[in-house]
Amino acid sequence: MRELKRRECNFVMLSSGEKWDGVLLTSPEEVQDGEIPATEETLEISVERAIQASRGLDSAVQLVFGVDPGPRPGIAWLADGVVVGSAQLEQIESVADHIVGLSLAVEHKRMCVKVGDGAPLIRDRIINQLILRGIETLEVNEYRTSQGSRIKTHLHAATRIALMGGSRVHHIRELNPTEGDLKEIQRQSRIMSLGNLTISTELARLVACGELSMEDAIKRA
């Protein structure tokens, strides 16, 4: 119910045995033909499937995702050129999994992901996730995409990125954190450890490349 409210969806809660002519979200154990199973782990994807079903969108020729890279990446997705949703993620590592999950909500013939060229280190980490999944990936010039309200800047940028042309990326990117990247991660380690320690440059490099979580780096330090 919280997720449906967050997505500003109208809904009703049914008792067991009540009939319903609309889209029905229920537990996997109770699901019947045409109903959508939902668990705590699949909540966002299940709600997205329900939203698309309520709009009559059960198939599309092409799905396009736009990604605005950053510590909290913004994602927008289009079906045959129509914007159908957006989300802001809390972790860089979850981008590819989230996109794959969303893509399962709509039958499609082709899918591609367009990634903005800002935040180079995070951009390349996201691109590598997508390439390893075998997903068609394009890099888009982000110039003048971050317009709109500050609250939803990443979502507006992700939508514009999805609508723009880009250059196809075929190969895994080598990750080369800058000195500024490493210092920022060390600064974050001080904040997360309540000022008790600063992780080393080598640990910061592992965190920057996604090989170690900040929590594990602090434990090692």
The pairing of strands 136-140 and 107-116 is parallel
Q: What is the pTM of this model?
A: 0.74
Q: State the Cα angle at 217 between 212 and 221, rounded to 5°.
A: 150
Domains of the chain, each with CATH number or no CATH: 1-56 (no CATH), 61-175 (3.30.420.140), 179-220 (no CATH)
Q: Round to whole Å and give the CA distance between 2 and 126.
A: 29
pLDDT, tens digit (0-9, with 9 covering 90-100), for 115-165: 999 889 999 999 999 999 999 999 999 865 555 444 467 778 899 999 999
pLDDT in tens, 48-104: 778 877 877 667 789 999 999 988 999 999 888 888 888 888 889 989 999 998 888
Output DSSP code: residue 172.
P
Residue 49 CB-half CA count within 13 A: 20
Strands 74-79 and 82-88: antiparallel
Q: How many CB atoms lie within 10 A of CB 39?
A: 10
Q: Supply 29's token pair.
A: 């154990």
Q: How much is the pLDDT for 35?
A: 82
